[in-house]
C-alpha cells in the first residue's frame, strides 16, 4: 500500500469514461496541496489493473462504465484488496444504485451534482477512515432498507423488460416460451415486489429506483408515463439493452 506519512499527499485514482469529466476532476483534485491524482482509468477493467499497480489511497469511481460497472469493479478490487477506499461518484440517485454500490464495498456514494468543496471534503474524510454519507443518499438508502423487498429474479426482469416494450401477455409468453398463466404469475410477483398497483406503475417505479435501466425505457417511460426526460435511465446504450449484471449484483 502507499506510504501515508504526514507529508505524503493523498493518492487518488480517478475512474470515469467521459474524458472531459475525468480531466475536470483531475484538475480540481490537483489544486489541493494535500492530494494528487496518481492515475486515471476510463473503464472498470482498467481500474482493476491500475489499482493492482498503484494501490491508490482513494478510488473515485464512476458508477456507469463501459463493460463492467463501477459497483462491479469496486467489488472486484475489494475482494483482492479489502482495505481499498472507494467513493462512488455518480449522476444517478436511484435507491438500487446506492444500495448495490455500498453493498459492493464503496465507503460512500456522492452525486455529481455535489459541489467541489463537498467532493474534496469527502475525499479527505474517507481517507481519514470516516464514513461520510450525504443526507440525501442516506435517506434513499434508508428507504431501500426499510422496504426490505425481495429482489426481482432474472426471469422477472425479462418480463419487465418486455412490458417496457409494450408487449402483451400473449406476446411475452411467446417471446419467453412460457404459458400466459406463468406470465401472469411473474407479473403478480413483480407488482408485489415493486409495491405497484399495475404494470404502468411497476415500470415507473423500476425506472425511478434504478432497478431497470434501458436506453429506450427512458424515452418510452418519459413519453408514456409522464416521467421527466432526465430520469434515471442510462443513455448511450444499445436500444433496449438491459443491464442485468448490475441488477443481479444487488441480489448477491
Structural domains for the chain: 10-146 (3.40.50.2300), 154-249 (1.10.10.10)
SS3 242: coil
Q: Is the pLDDT assigned to residue 17 strictly greater than 80?
A: yes
Lowest mean pLDDT among 40-44, 168-172, 219-223: 219-223
Distance between CA atoms of 103 and 151, rounded to whole angstroms?
14
On whether the CB atoms of residues 250 and 96 are closer than 8 A, the answer is yes
Taking the whole predicted model, whether its pTM rises above 0.75 is answered as no
Mean pLDDT of 128-135: 80
Sorted by sequence, the CB contacts under 8 Å of residue 168 that are 6+ apart come out as none
The mean per-residue pLDDT over the stretch 93-114 comes to 87
Residue linked to cell 458508477:
63
C-alpha grid cell for residue 126?
Answer: 474517507
| Maximum Cα interatomic distance, the chain, rounded to a whole number of Å | 67
3-state secondary structure at position 10? strand
Distances (CA, A) of 76 to 57, 140, 215, 217, 252: 16, 25, 26, 29, 13
pLDDT at 139 over 80: no
Judged against a pLDDT cut of 70, whether residue 102 lies above it is answered with yes
- CA dist 21 and 103 (Å) reads 25
Amino acid at each position: 500500500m502507499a506510504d501515508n506519512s504526514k507529508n505524503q499527499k493523498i493518492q487518488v485514482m480517478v475512474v470515469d469514461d467521459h474524458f472531459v469529466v475525468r480531466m475536470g476532476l483531475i484538475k480540481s483534485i490537483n489544486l489541493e496541496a494535500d492530494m494528487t491524482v496518481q492515475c486515471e482509468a476510463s473503464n472498470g477493467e482498467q481500474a482493476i489493473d491500475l489499482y493492482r499497480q498503484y494501490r491508490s489511497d482513494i478510488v473515485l469511481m464512476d458508477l456507469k462504465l463501459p463493460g463492467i460497472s463501477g459497483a462491479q469493479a469496486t467489488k472486484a478490487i475489494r475482494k483482492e484488496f479489502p482495505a481499498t477506499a472507494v467513493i462512488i461518484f455518480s449522476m444517478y440517485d436511484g435507491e438500487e444504485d446506492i444500495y448495490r454500490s455500498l453493498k459492493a464495498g464503496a465507503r460512500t456514494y456522492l452525486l455529481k451534482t455535489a459541489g467541489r468543496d463537498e467532493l474534496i471534503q469527502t475525499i479527505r474524510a474517507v481517507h481519514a477512515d470516516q464514513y461520510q454519507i450525504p443526507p440525501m443518499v442516506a435517506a434513499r438508502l434508508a428507504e431501500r432498507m426499510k422496504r426490505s423487498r425481495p429482489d426481482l429474479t432474472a426471469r422477472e426482469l425479462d418480463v419487465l423488460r418486455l412490458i417496457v416494450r409494450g408487449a402483451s401477455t400473449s406476446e411475452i409468453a411467446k417471446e419467453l416460451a412460457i404459458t400466459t398463466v406463468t406470465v401472469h404469475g411473474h407479473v403478480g410477483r413483480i407488482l408485489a415486489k415493486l409495491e405497484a398497483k399495475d404494470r404502468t406503475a411497476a415500470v415507473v417505479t423500476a425506472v425511478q429506483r434504478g432497478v431497470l435501466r434501458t436506453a429506450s425505457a427512458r424515452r418510452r417511460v418519459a413519453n408514456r408515463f409522464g416521467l421527466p426526460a432526465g430520469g434515471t435511465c442510462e443513455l448511450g446504450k444499445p436500444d433496449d439493452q438491459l443491464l442485468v449484471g448490475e441488477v443481479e449484483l444487488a441480489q448477491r
